[in-house]
Amino acid sequence: MMKPQKYYIETYGCQMNEADSEIVAGMLERATYQATREPEEADIILVNTCSVRQGADNRALSRLSQFKSLKKNNPNLLLGMIGCVAQRDRGKIIEERPFIDFVLGPDAYRRIPEIVANKKRQVIDVQLSRTEVYDGLMPFRNSVVNAWISIMRGCNKFCSYCIVPYTRGRERSRSVASIVEEINAAIAEGYQEITLLGQNVNSYRYNDIRFHDLLKIIAEIKGVRRIRFTSPHPEDVNTEMLEVMRDYDNICKHIHLPLQSGSTKVLADMNRSYSKERYLEFVDNIRHILPGCGITTDIIVGFPGETEADFQETLCVMDKVVFDNAYMFKYSPRPYTAAAKMKDDVPEAEKAERLNQVIAKQKIHTKQRNRSLIGTVQSVLIDGHSKKNPNEKIGRTDSNKLVILKEDHADIGDFIDILITGTAGVSLFGKINKP
């Protein structure tokens, strides 16, 4: 019998890329390929790339160059670059790195089984679609508790710094029927948590069904213990959505609300469509309808033209909101975007200094928010082992905080009430609550 062929996938960037890699893995598994964690063993290596900032971009390219040497021992090895950098750089990639065999953009993955079966080389497919392209394909999931479900793709917002509309194309939403079918299949396989994904998840619209209608439909599916979603655009976080979240216990009370900047002037230059004041109103609305809801954010420092006074406005919004957590970035010019034509005039040292300041502030706020939970009982879904100590289990609260359980009396997949006893960094410690 022939030895089964093995595939290895390495994924960079956002959760959408993680979910796409699971869809690709599903196709390869159905074509009888086997997953491996060792690139040295693989017959097919795929690198799913991210172009949102220069850092991830560079890392993926250097990994691909490392994999080149594996071709010496295995001349049949196929090396594919997929994802957003593939979409952006297209033919140039193979011109500059002829050892890469195929380049596929995010809407071209259905071609993978055919390419690998026929050992095709020099394939470039970066056609973007106006409709959902992966309907009906069941992913091969990596997690045991959480199932990613992509409900929409693409973005029409064109924030001036962001490359996503160019690499992922226009917004399109998947049919309700196919979303429900995939969720039912995930529940039948034992998944308890569903995370809905989309570049602008709450811009979902399929015929008359809007995001809050879809949330309601999913919350009523039997066996769905928890629903999360990411990433929403603040402009689409409306009262209807918040009310559905309030009315269903199985919709997690956590909203990722990307601020980007606290300066109304910078926000206008970023084409973000809201002012500082309006952002604070969004937060008030969330806190009013969903008291205790976790709010996290994304912040960019050093956008073109950001003055010290603009930056102070960002710090001021952080102080007003006290986010539970934040992803913070230095502005990085991206090709094709409107901001790339503006002068990148904040010096690198200043960007680094501003980044340090937001990180330091966020640390204090995270601590403050986490400390306020000491002594409370949180419902936690156990989803893995602690990396530092395999005897400790980890899980997440409803508001998406990581909890480390010191004792070992819980199994992965258990839903338990945990008494929060302490905090460290972004995590909480706790013990099983015995009333």
User: Residue 423 is which amino acid?
Assistant: T
| Both structure tokens of 293 | 């809801």
Residues that bind ligand SF4 (CB under 6 A): 155, 157-159, 162, 164-165, 199-200, 233
The reply on whether position 53 binds ligand 5AD by CB under 6 A is: yes
E strand or H helix at 18, and its extent?
helix 15-30
3-state SS assignment for residue 115: helix
Please say whether the beta carbons of 51 and 334 come within 8 A: yes
The span from the first CA to the last CA of the chain, in angstroms, equals: 58
Give helix then strand counts, H and E, for the chain.
13, 21
Q: Which of 52, 77, 78, 266 binds ligand 5AD (CB under 6 A)?
A: 52
> Helix, strand, or coil here: 378?
strand
125 versus 171: smaller Cβ distance to ligand SF4: 171
Residue 196, CA distances (Å) to 24, 75, 226, 401 in order: 18, 40, 11, 18
Residue 418 binds which entry of ligand SF4, ligand 5AD, none, CB below 5-8 Å type-dependent? none
Q: Which stretch binds ligand 5AD (CB under 6 A): 85-93, 325-333, 348-356, 404-412?
A: 325-333
Minimum distance from residue 261 beta carbon to ligand SF4 (Å): 12
42/162 with CB nearer ligand 5AD: 162
Measured CA to CA, the distance from residue 199 to residue 171 in angstroms comes to 8
Task: Work out how close the CB of 46 gets to ligand SF4 at its nearest, in angstroms, rounded to a whole number.
Answer: 23
Residue 332 contacts ligand 5AD per CB under 6 A: yes
Rg of the chain on CA atoms, in Å: 22
Residue 199 binding target from ligand SF4, ligand 5AD, none, CB below 5 to 8 Å by type: ligand SF4
* Nearest-CB residue for ligand 5AD: 298
Q: Which of ligand 5AD, ligand SF4, none is residue 300 near (CB under 5 to 8 Å by kind)? A: ligand 5AD
Contact present, 223 and 191 (Cβ < 8 Å): no
CB of 410 to ligand SF4, least distance (A): 36
167 is in the binding site of which of ligand 5AD, ligand SF4, none (Cβ under 5 to 8 A by kind)?
none
260 binds ligand 5AD (CB under 6 A): yes
CA angle 161, 166, 167 (to 5 degrees): 110
| CB 385 to ligand SF4: min, Å | 33
Q: How many CA atoms lie within 13 A of 278 on its CB side?
A: 14
Residues engaged in binding ligand 5AD (CB under 6 A): 52-53, 161-162, 258, 260, 298, 300, 329, 331-332, 334
